[in-house]
């Protein structure tokens, strides 16, 4: 396989890693920013540093992605490229809409879709998809939501006799620690997923032998890409998770982030690779319900859940279409170049549209009068 097509695919993987970073900044820092525990720019800066550091801690998840989701034998570099295109497009669409969907599921969906289009359904390890992606995706938000609900109730009960500003300050300081743990765990989990894809690409392209470890330059490149994406700040998703699901106070932010960090770290310890987005979203919902008088905006939650359900099939469809488009060219390098060019044009369009329609920045992320297309003014339905 030519080195040009391998280089293009690795570059596309790093673009995905960047979108993963800016899409998922909200996971660690949305509640921290919402409760003003840290200024927005400081929060995303801290998350970027911890994502970078987290990427070097472990490579277990990279191995899962490289070998546990699709059969390595039938996978070619153009197929991986097409899968990445599907994942990137879905990430950018959901970012534009301000919906916290799972980047991990977009990646798995995109690769599975392109593999089905390229080699058929036999190229997919369906038991791996069920045990490593689907079942954890269903269970994780409930586990984290329950823990956050209990933690929030306890937080308010145990501190009700103290002055509000003192307890608020205590929880704000603790929240910095809990959200930092989420950022570190996110770097460990999500940067590794891209490392796994890059390793898969290098193996498929003949640059690396099957079963090889993750080269240091791959670790560094993936860590840098996810950190850069995180630092750019996915303000649209931060706005939804931090202000639109529920009105978050510092005890709730602490409870949501602590429960999320615990769920992610305990799951990683037992070998499950969770979507940090779904875990944190479950935690925010649980924290919203745990405060007396707290209101969860179920219309926003409904949009999020729909996005979760649609993510894998939609990214898979985009991956499959990309694979068909690449394979329509007799020279795969030309096909990858053309599809890559179309992807860049689509991404540019979305970024321009985002600037024109409700441009959310670090300055206005907490303003109520700025809205994104996918998360309009919430309708409170229940407590």
Q: Are 89 and 321 in contact (CB under 8 A)?
A: no
What b/e readout covers 141-151, taking b as 16+ CB neighbours within 10 angstroms? bebbbbbbbeb
Instruction: Considering only the stretches 11-19, 143-151, 299-307, 336-344, report the one whose residues sit in contact with other proteins under the rule CB under 8 A.
Output: 143-151
What 122-130 contacts at long range (C-beta under 8 Å, 24+ apart), as own/partner pairs, is 122/71, 122/74, 123/70, 123/71, 123/74, 123/75, 124/69, 124/70, 124/71, 125/68, 125/69, 125/70, 125/71, 128/68, 128/69, 129/69
353 binds other proteins (CB under 8 A): no
Paired tokens of 342: 């179309």
Which residue of 67, 114, 167, 277 would you call a contact of other proteins, by CB under 8 A?
Answer: 167
53 versus 366: smaller Cβ distance to other proteins: 53
Instruction: Considering only the stretches 35-43, 104-112, 250-258, 331-339, report the one whose residues sit in contact with other proteins under the rule CB under 8 A.
Output: 250-258
Residues 268-287 that bind other proteins (CB under 8 A): 268-272
148 binds other proteins (CB under 8 A): yes
At residue 73, the 3 state secondary structure works out as coil
Instruction: Considering only the stretches 96-104, 169-177, 230-238, 312-320, report the one whose residues sit in contact with other proteins under the rule CB under 8 A.
Output: 169-177
69 binds other proteins (CB under 8 A): no
At residue 154, the 3 state secondary structure works out as helix
159 binds other proteins (CB under 8 A): yes
Q: Any residues with CB less than 8 A from the CB of 287 and at least 6 apart, and which?
A: 31, 148, 149, 151, 152, 246, 248, 252, 253, 255, 256, 259, 294
Closest CB 119 distance from other proteins, rounded Å? 24
164 binds other proteins (CB under 8 A): no
Find the largest Cα–Cα distance for the chain.
73
318 binds other proteins (CB under 8 A): no
Residues 17-56 that bind other proteins (CB under 8 A): 54
In this structure, what are the phi and psi dihedrals at residue 11, rounded to the nearest 5 degrees?
Answer: -60, -40
Per-residue interface string for the shown chain with other proteins, residues 252-271, x marking contact by CB under 8 A: --xx--xx-xxx-xxxxxxx
Q: Are 101 and 308 in contact (CB under 8 A)?
A: yes
Closest CB 279 distance from other proteins, rounded Å? 10
Which residue of 3, 4, 58, 212 would you call a contact of other proteins, by CB under 8 A?
Answer: 58
- Using CB under 8 A, list all residues that contact other proteins: 54, 57-58, 60, 127, 130-131, 135-136, 139, 143-144, 146-148, 150-151, 154-155, 158-159, 162-163, 166-167, 169-171, 174, 177-178, 181, 184-185, 188, 251, 254-255, 258-259, 261-263, 265-272
């Amino acid at each position: 396989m030519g080195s040009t097509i391998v280089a293009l695919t690795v570059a596309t993987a790093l673009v995905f890693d960047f979108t993963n970073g800016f899409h998922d900044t909200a996971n660690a820092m949305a509640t921290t920013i919402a409760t003003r525990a840290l200024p927005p720019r400081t929060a995303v800066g801290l998350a970027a540093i911890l994502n970078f550091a987290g990427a070097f801690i472990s490579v277990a998840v990279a191995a899962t992605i490289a070998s546990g989701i699709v059969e390595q034998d039938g996978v070619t570099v153009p197929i991986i490229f097409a899968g990445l295109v599907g994942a990137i497009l879905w990430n950018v669409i959901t970012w534009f809409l301000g919906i916290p969907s799972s980047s991990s599921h977009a990646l798995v969906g995109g690769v599975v879709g392109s593999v089905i289009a390229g080699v058929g359904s036999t190229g997919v390890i369906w038991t791996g998809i069920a045990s490593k992606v689907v079942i954890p995706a269903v269970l994780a938000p409930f586990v984290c939501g329950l823990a956050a609900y209990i933690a929030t109730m306890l937080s308010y009960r145990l501190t009700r006799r103290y002055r509000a500003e003192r307890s608020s300050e205590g929880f704000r300081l603790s929240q910095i620690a809990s959200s930092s743990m989420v950022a570190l765990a996110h770097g460990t989990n999500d940067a590794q997923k891209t490392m796994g894809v890059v390793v898969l690409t290098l193996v498929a392209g003949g640059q690396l032998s099957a079963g090889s470890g993750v080269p240091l330059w791959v670790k560094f490149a993936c860590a840098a890409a996810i950190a850069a994406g995180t630092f750019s700040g996915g303000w649209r998703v931060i706005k939804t998770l931090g202000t639109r699901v529920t009105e978050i106070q510092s005890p709730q932010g602490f409870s949501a982030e602590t429960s999320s960090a615990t769920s992610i770290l305990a799951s990683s310890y037992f070998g499950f690779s969770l979507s940090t987005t779904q875990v944190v979203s479950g935690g925010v919902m649980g924290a919203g319900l745990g405060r007396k008088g707290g209101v969860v905006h179920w219309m926003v939650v409904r949009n999020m859940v729909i996005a979760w359900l649609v993510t894998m099939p939609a990214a898979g469809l985009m991956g499959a279409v990309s694979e068909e488009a690449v394979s329509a060219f007799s020279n795969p390098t030309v096909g990858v170049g053309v599809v890559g060019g179309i992807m860049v044009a689509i991404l540019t369009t979305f970024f321009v549209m985002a600037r024109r329609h409700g441009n959310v920045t670090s300055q206005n992320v907490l303003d109520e009068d700025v809205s994104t297309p996918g998360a309009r003014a919430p309708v409170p339905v229940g407590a």
